[in-house]
Structure 1
Amino acid sequence: MAITPQLPILVLTLKGADERRAPLVRRLQAMGLQYELFFGIDGRQGLPAEHEPLVDRSARINAGRRPMSDPEYACALSHLMIYRRIVERGLEQALILEDDAIIGSALAALARGAIRPVGDLMLLDHWKGFFRRLGRIRLSAGFDAHRIAVPPDLATGYVVTRRAAGHFLDCAFPVRRVADWPCDIASLASYAVHPRIVDSPDQKAAPSQIRESRDGMNRHGQPKPSGWRRRLTRAYWQRWLRKRRYRRLDRATALDIGPADPPQS
């Protein structure tokens, strides 16, 4: 019987982040999965000058969902560098993991073909967002793929095809949107897996500087209205309509579905 090739795995990380990525690397190695470390752009001390021509700071508020910080620009550029790698190598698809991703044997099953990815983009971790009530695809091992109507947050783990990677590169520059995503993924065949195959650290327990800087702000960097004033905003009524037209998915996870050890030859 032919052995299904493993899905290429790219781990997005930063140089010097050995401790941060260590748990993920240990887990990948324990499950016998091949992976490649992809070193992205570090924007914590400001966006490096050589990347400044690739971003459009004046347009970020109108095209993005909120004002972007240098780390967000760097993160977006790093994901775009991965998409370019996928296209240049001619990979049909690849599994992308951020270096703080929490994984289990379900990811190994996906990487080895026991769970088949669908569409152009399949999110393995997601938060919020809205999904179509019809069009659910049954995967194996008790997982479902739900068609995305309004893109959720998080790019902790996902499978992306070469077609989608090329599309992202075509519409991304100059960068004016966060890594999740450079354009409207709902226009592609985009799905989210439920329950989630990849988890991420508790953002409330250990918030990042990016999250702290935008809590309590709207997409234009202004304080969010509270109480009855919310009902006077366009965003409130857009959300009201979305809730009735589409559905949410809960944050259920199923990281482990069976033995995580690699198959014996």
Structure 2
Amino acid sequence: MKIFVLNLERAVERRQSMLQHLSGLGIEAEILPAVEGARLPPSSLPAGTDPRLSPGEVGCYLSHVRFWEIVVERGLEHAVVLEDDVRCSPTMLQVVADIVALGLPLDAVRLSALNPIRGQDITTLAGGTKLVLPNKNPSGTQGYMVTLEGARRLLQRLAVPRCPIDTALDAYWKHGLCIPLVSPSVVAEDASIASSIEGRFGGRQRKTLGRHLARVAEAQRRKIAVFLMARSLRSRLGRRERGNPAQ
């Protein structure tokens, strides 16, 4: 399993700390230079980039896009990306391997979550870790695995920064993507390291009755979409267990 770590070239201490942490777990990783959003001229941004995003949010988003591009360019069947301010469970690679072995049509699997995990259970892995399709926003992109086909679809549907990258992944169900997550998380943010992203998109939106009703309606649509997606995945697993894999 190929492991990448997103890291700004100037963040030498983070890079060294992260590589040392992974080495202690017996994990080799390739440093993937992150995009410095503050150094990007507006003319170089993808058409449609939301101007309300901070430079840090744009850089973070485009760094993840570059990861998807590399997965496709190299033809990697599966790959994991980690941000450089995380700590990984010793079970991370085994959990990922167990998920791959399920043979499900997944685009990505999030290995971290900043918010409580709520959603539809798909299955429980051998070690007790659950694979869950979230119907509440888990937030965060501290670590996740992508498949080759998933990277292609992500590039087709989410290549333009219209919101923060974790918000885009939270809305997977809107984009026809299948992106479950693991519970409990096997990648966690290191709280001792300050975030390099300043500001937060949409943080100053005025609360109105119209926005509230729209959120309620969207939450209901999401629950239905996630339920149907999870049911389909569980059905595939059931057919596989009975020796009749889905076509």
TM-score, normalising length: structure 2: 0.74
Name which of 191, 203, 207 aligns with 2:180: 191
Structure 2 stretches lacking a partner, 5+ long: 228-247
Per-residue Cα deviation, 1:150-175 (whole angstroms, up to 9, x for no partner): 54311100010011111111123443
Shift of 1:185: 1.8
8 Å contact from structure 1 (residues 55, 73) kept in 2:
no
- Is 1:68–2:60 an aligned residue pair? no
Q: Distance in 2 between matches of 1:167 and 1:73?
A: 20
Shift of 1:148: 2.9
Task: Give structure 1 regions of 4+ aligned residues with deviation exceeding 6 angstroms.
Answer: 229-232, 242-247
Q: Does the C-alpha gap of structure 1 residues 209 and 34 become closer, same or farther in structure 2, counting only changes over 3 Å?
A: closer
- Is 1:214–2:200 an aligned residue pair? yes
Q: Does the C-alpha gap of structure 1 residues 121 and 151 become closer, same or farther in structure 2, counting only changes over 3 Å?
A: farther
2:213 is aligned to 234
Instruction: State the secondary structure of the residue aligned to 2:85.
Output: coil
Q: Does the C-alpha gap of structure 1 residues 23 and 104 become closer, same or farther in structure 2, counting only changes over 3 Å?
A: farther
Instruction: State the secondary structure of the residue aligned to 1:102.
Output: strand
Q: Does the C-alpha gap of structure 1 residues 51 and 95 become closer, same or farther in structure 2, counting only changes over 3 Å?
A: farther
Q: What is the aligned-residue identity percentage?
A: 24
Q: Does the C-alpha gap of structure 1 residues 222 and 47 become closer, same or farther in structure 2, counting only changes over 3 Å?
A: farther
Q: Distance in 1 between matches of 2:83 and 2:66?
A: 14
Q: Does the C-alpha gap of structure 1 residues 140 and 209 become closer, same or farther in structure 2, counting only changes over 3 Å?
A: same
Instruction: State the secondary structure of the residue aligned to 1:165.
Output: helix
Name which of 98, 105, 115 aligns with 1:128: 115
Q: Does the C-alpha gap of structure 1 residues 161 and 240 become closer, same or farther in structure 2, counting only changes over 3 Å?
A: closer
2:88 is aligned to 103
Name which of 150, 157, 161 aligns with 1:175: 161
2:245 is aligned to none
TM-score, normalising length: structure 1: 0.69
8 Å contact from structure 2 (residues 112, 140) kept in 1:
yes
Shift of 1:138: 1.1
2:17 is aligned to 23
Name which of 46, 49, 70 aligns with 1:54: 46
Q: Does the C-alpha gap of structure 1 residues 18 and 192 become closer, same or farther in structure 2, counting only changes over 3 Å?
A: same
- Aligned positions, number: 219
Q: Distance in 1 between matches of 2:10 and 2:195?
A: 21
1:89 is aligned to 74
Structure 1 stretches lacking a partner, 5+ long: 1-6, 62-66, 248-265
2:148 is aligned to 162
- Is 1:201–2:190 an aligned residue pair? yes
Q: Distance in 1 between matches of 2:135 and 2:111?
A: 16
